[in-house]
């Protein structure tokens, strides 16, 4: 080994270079040579131990894709599945340094299926090496990765036109690709784009100037990476520290741990806790090594405060006189990462600044065409698609626009049932109405209305297949409750589509919006003290859960009217199954659209085995047992 060495994750990367450590990623379409490039770079800088090189040589014979040559991509494609397929699946990180600079490189996958992993790598990168196969030029995935890099705040791009040897080192091809990308990226906000022709397999222009391209007068790749000045002005921004953990080692110490996302901190600084708005001063600052007198952006610290005030995980400590925005509605860019499509109106979990809360995409403004950057009308987003939307969260949160602070303006969306990360998001700005609309305090409370009616409010949510008997049972239940003097209202699927929801069809996205609206109406009715009977197919668990979370604990009673599909088809009271099976009706639940069976309903009515009157009596008896009536 030379004096250069591959750095481990625990090294101080600023100790061996004249410039700050550079975080960069390699990205681009599949099989454009990303892993080969980094492997070649490490090899040419003598950053591979002899035993690693011997192992690489053996593995190249078994897994290699370059004939008898050493396949440098295998240095980074460590997963067995990656080696067998010849692609990168996960994000591979490497730490290394040269005499001039230290580097942290994220080798990200090019396949569309793993675009989410590319976004992960870009979220912490300052520069992107975007590879293009000289034979293929710009592809959709190349453009998609450029858009995602721009959205995630990467401002420096190296356009590495790879495999230039396979086009006979043609200057005209290189210049055309560089011109095409420069034109495409003109509106993406990159501060610098450097195009470099390379052959990762043979090392041309990787860490030394190639003699086979005398027409190229620019720097080789490593030279540019060692000298590029990627400004990090986080220290000059207002103080921000999202609280990650409450540090209570004993009863005498209460600190608030997190990483400074912007600005500096010193004992005595005035700060505000958001969103509560309580003010205090920093009493002391601690790191793993003990108490310090100042901390900077990027430092992981624990703060103690001068006053005993309430601070929780997910709160933000901020400069007193330069605060972030606080809102419960905002516009954002989304990169959709799930095989399940985005449904506006569906409730997801948002994780932002170490806090987790409910969030809904209220409006999908448009989708971005990754080839032309044009705005496309869209009602949903599919895997790897990028869009601009409005979101609403269940409580106000503190944030900065992503363009101002990449740390405090980024979030992810999580599916409530699968816990899958479905989207990465970047906040653009707070919606004006978020700060103009306030809750009005009411003189008469829900509890007072309930006392007047002599019963508790509730939502009886009847769900099941079309023709299961939901409306019949709900009507009988309401009649029984009316006879007891209970104040009720009934919301039926067909009836609301004549008025409130007459603009909605039956696609999955429109069914989601249908239930969202009904849930809000049901909540208003429970606030009025009523027992609300809702009869809807409501095929998706996520929306039934969303309605449950709108009302108070114990007020939502899910009633699963369980009738076998064969019996529903045999009944077919409206002739809809016959038409759906004949292909005359699309998006019909039970035929060409799924129904998600309730997992733990409060009442499971075996409608195929009992008559409707007996089932209605069972529902009323359950309300009596729960002391609702």
Q: Is the dihedral of CA 317, 323, 324, 327 positive or negative?
A: positive
Please, where are the H alpha helices in 86-139? 115-122
Q: How far is CA 609 from its chain centroid?
A: 45
SS (H, E, C) 566-616: HHHHHHCCCCHHHHHHCCCCCCCECCCECCCCCCCCCEEEECCCCCHHHHH
Interatomic CA distance for residues 130 and 177, integer angstroms: 12
- Of the residues 60, 538, 553, 617, only one is catalytic, namely 538
Residue 241, helix vs strand vs coil: strand
- What is 539-564 written as a DSSP string? --HHHHHHHHHHSPTT-EEEEEEE--
Instruction: Tell me the sheet residues that pair with 414.
Output: 349, 421
Interatomic CA distance for residues 174 and 135, integer angstroms: 10
Q: Is the dihedral of CA 200, 206, 208, 214 positive or negative?
A: positive
By the 8 A CB rule, do 76 and 94 touch? yes
Interatomic CA distance for residues 478 and 533, integer angstroms: 7
318 is catalytic: no
Please, where are the H alpha helices in 152-259? 171-184, 221-227
Interatomic CA distance for residues 446 and 525, integer angstroms: 10
Beta-carbon count within 10 A of 418 CB: 10
By the 8 A CB rule, do 410 and 404 touch? no
Interatomic CA distance for residues 49 and 117, integer angstroms: 28
Residues annotated as part of the active site = 538
């Amino acid at each position: 080994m030379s004096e250069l060495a591959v750095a481990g994750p625990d090294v101080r990367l600023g100790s061996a270079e004249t410039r700050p450590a550079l975080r960069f990623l390699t990205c681009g379409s599949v099989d454009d040579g990303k892993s080969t490039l980094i492997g070649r770079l490490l090899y040419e800088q003598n950053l591979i131990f002899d035993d690693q090189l011997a192992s690489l040589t053996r593995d190249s014979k078994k897994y290699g894709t370059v004939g008898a040559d050493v396949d440098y991509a295998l240095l980074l494609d460590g997963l067995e599945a990656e080696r067998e397929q010849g692609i990168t699946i996960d994000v591979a990180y490497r730490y290394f340094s040269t005499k001039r600079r230290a580097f942290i490189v994220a080798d990200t996958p090019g396949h569309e299926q793993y675009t989410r992993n590319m976004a992960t790598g870009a979220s912490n990168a300052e520069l992107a090496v975007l590879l293009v196969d000289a034979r293929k030029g710009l592809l959709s995935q190349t453009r998609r990765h450029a858009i995602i890099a721009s959205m995630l705040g990467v401002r420096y791009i190296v356009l590495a036109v790879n495999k230039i040897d396979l086009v006979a080192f043609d200057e005209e091809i290189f210049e055309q690709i560089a011109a095409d990308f420069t034109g495409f990226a003109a509106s993406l906000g990159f501060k610098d784009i450097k195009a470099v022709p390379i052959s990762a397999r043979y090392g041309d222009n990787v860490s030394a100037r190639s003699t086979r391209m005398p027409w190229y007068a620019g720097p080789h790749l490593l030279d540019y990476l060692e000298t590029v000045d990627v400004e990090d002005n986080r220290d000059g921004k207002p103080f921000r520290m999202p609280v990650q953990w409450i540090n209570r080692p004993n009863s005498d110490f209460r600190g608030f741990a997190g990483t400074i996302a912007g600005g500096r901190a010193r004992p005595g600084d005035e700060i505000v806790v958001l969103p509560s708005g309580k003010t205090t001063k920093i009493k002391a600052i601690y790191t793993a090594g003990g108490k310090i007198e100042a901390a900077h952006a990027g430092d992981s610290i624990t703060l103690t405060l001068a006053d005993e005030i309430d601070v929780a995980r997910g709160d933000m400590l901020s400069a007193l006189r330069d605060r972030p925005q606080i809102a419960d509605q905002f516009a954002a860019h989304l990169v959709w990462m799930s095989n399940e499509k985005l449904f506006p109106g569906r409730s997801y979990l948002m994780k932002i600044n170490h806090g987790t809360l409910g969030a809904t995409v209220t409006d999908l403004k448009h989708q971005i065409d990754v080839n032309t950057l044009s705005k496309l009308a869209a009602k949903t987003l599919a895997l790897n698609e990028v869009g601009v939307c409005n979101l609403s969260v269940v409580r106000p949160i503190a944030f900065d626009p992503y363009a101002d602070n990449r740390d405090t303006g980024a979030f992810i969306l999580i599916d409530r049932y699968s816990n899958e990360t479905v989207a990465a998001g970047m906040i653009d700005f707070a919606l004006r109405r978020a700060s103009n609309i306030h809750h009005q305090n009411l003189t008469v409370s829900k509890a007072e209305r309930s006392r007047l009616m002599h019963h508790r409010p509730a939502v009886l949510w009847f769900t099941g297949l079309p023709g299961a008997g939901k409306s019949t049972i709900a009507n009988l239940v309401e009649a029984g409750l009316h006879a007891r003097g209970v104040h009720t209202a009934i919301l039926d699927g067909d009836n609301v589509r004549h008025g409130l929801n007459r603009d909605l069809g039956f696609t999955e996205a429109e069914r989601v919006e249908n239930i969202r609206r009904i849930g809000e109406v049901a909540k208003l009715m429970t606030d009025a003290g009523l027992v609300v009977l809702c009869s809807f197919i409501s095929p998706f668990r996520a929306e039934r859960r969303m309605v449950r979370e709108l009302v108070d604990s114990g007020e939502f009673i899910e009633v699963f009217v369980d009738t076998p599909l064969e019996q529903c088809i045999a009944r077919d009271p409206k002739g809809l199954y016959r038409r759906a099976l004949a292909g005359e009706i699309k998006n019909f639940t039970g035929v060409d659209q799924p129904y998600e069976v309730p997992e733990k309903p409060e009442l499971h009515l075996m409608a195929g085995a009992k008559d409707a009157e007996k089932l209605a009596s069972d529902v009323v008896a359950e309300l009596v047992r729960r002391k609702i009536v």
